[in-house]
Homo-oligomer: A and B are copies of this chain.
Amino acid sequence: MLIVMERSATQAHIAAVVDTVKRLGLTPQPIPGGNRVAIGVLGNQGYVDEEPFRDLPGIQELIHVTKPYKLVSRDFHPADSAIGVGEVFVGWGLEPVVIAGPCTVESREQVLETARAVKAAGARILRGGAFKPRTGPHSFQGLGYEGLEYLAEAGRAAGLPIVTEVMRIDQVEPVAAVADCLQVGARNMQNFDLLKEVGRIGKPVLLKRGISATLEEFLAAAEYILLEGNDQVILCERGIRTFERALRNTLDLGVVPFLRQVTHLPVIVDPSHALGRRDLVAPMAKAAVVVGAAGVMVEVHPDPTHALCDGPQSLDPEAFARLMRELRATSRTES
């Protein structure tokens, strides 16, 4: 950390800062400048807490050099992590994994049919929501555990591992008993108790970026999971909220190559939720592969017009098969 003093800071102000640094067992290094003094803080192994410093008089600014995460960082784990979901591996530089399935499990038939179709087209993981977070309290909220069973059956039938969202702590154990990967949704990215719980359960976790989460917060949220001993985390960019409202969210593809430098954990992209429009899913899915994403997650529904949730962004099986062919061509060129 660098502590920048105000121009008007007195010797006593500087001395108080120096003392505080020492009290924390760290080493202060004053850097006198033309206009003001700065004090470097040396010797810390991790993020330096601001609290003891920020309140001292004469301080203009605290500048962090160390980030609030460590286990997720390439600094401490230079090699790529490959996350195994069933027998499928998701990782930087591996063949991009396509995760597909309905937004919501609506019936046994719907998910069985979708699973077979996406498997035939080349998807390698099946997704489907049993518990649905909905902004409005009157919207369809999912089939719950019944839906989970249908999803598991469809995965077995199609030979695909499954991923599904958990929203509450008491769902973690029963879901982990049947699912190959637990999803934590964007709204729960900072539900820290839930993060700890999925950390303890030891199954792979697909963590979605919050709609207004900085990358630092996103990585710090993943750190919660790794700290519990679970390093099987897949990160998912799914669009952020900006001033632009013509599309649902702004898909932030630039973070994919950036995060590849920062973290060993793989990043996948969900264009369906980000844009909210079917016609934009295919181009953005291909773009995700081009920028190096470890996978893409796409919503597929046998009959999007009658979907109970997010129909307008779902592909039908035929459109999905076409996208898979295009993705394979893109992927071959780029590798």
A residues engaging B (CB < 8 A)? Answer: 2, 4, 7, 29, 31-36, 38, 40, 42-47, 49-52, 54-56, 61, 63, 65-66, 68-69, 75, 133-139, 167-170, 187-188, 190-193, 211-212, 214-217, 220, 223-224, 227, 240-247, 250-258, 261, 274-275, 277, 279-280, 283-284, 286-288, 290-292, 304-312, 329-330, 332-334
Contact = CB atoms under 8 A, between A and B. Distances in A.
Given A54-B312, A244-B240, A253 B284 contact: yes
A280 B74 CA distance: 18
Interface-centre pick from A4, A227, A274, A309 (highest chain B CB count, 10 A): A4
B246 A250 contact: no
Nearest to A215: B246
A246 B2 CA distance: 17
A199 to B, nearest CB: 9
B279 A283 contact: no
Contacts of A216: 246
A229 to B, nearest CB: 13
Interface-centre pick from A56, A191, A214, A290 (highest chain B CB count, 10 A): A290
Nearest to A225: B137
B251 A47 contact: no
Contacts of A135: 68, 190, 217, 220
A141 B255 CA distance: 30
A40 B43 contact: no
B247 A258 contact: yes
A198 to B, nearest CB: 13
A101 to B, nearest CB: 18
Given A51-B307, A212-B243, A330-B333, A137 B227 contact: yes
A55 B311 contact: yes
B51 A312 contact: yes
Given A220-B136, A244-B214, A43 B51 contact: no
A123 B144 CA distance: 45
A304 B14 CA distance: 19
A43 B47 contact: no
A7 B75 contact: yes
Nearest to A326: B334
Contacts of A255: 244, 246-247
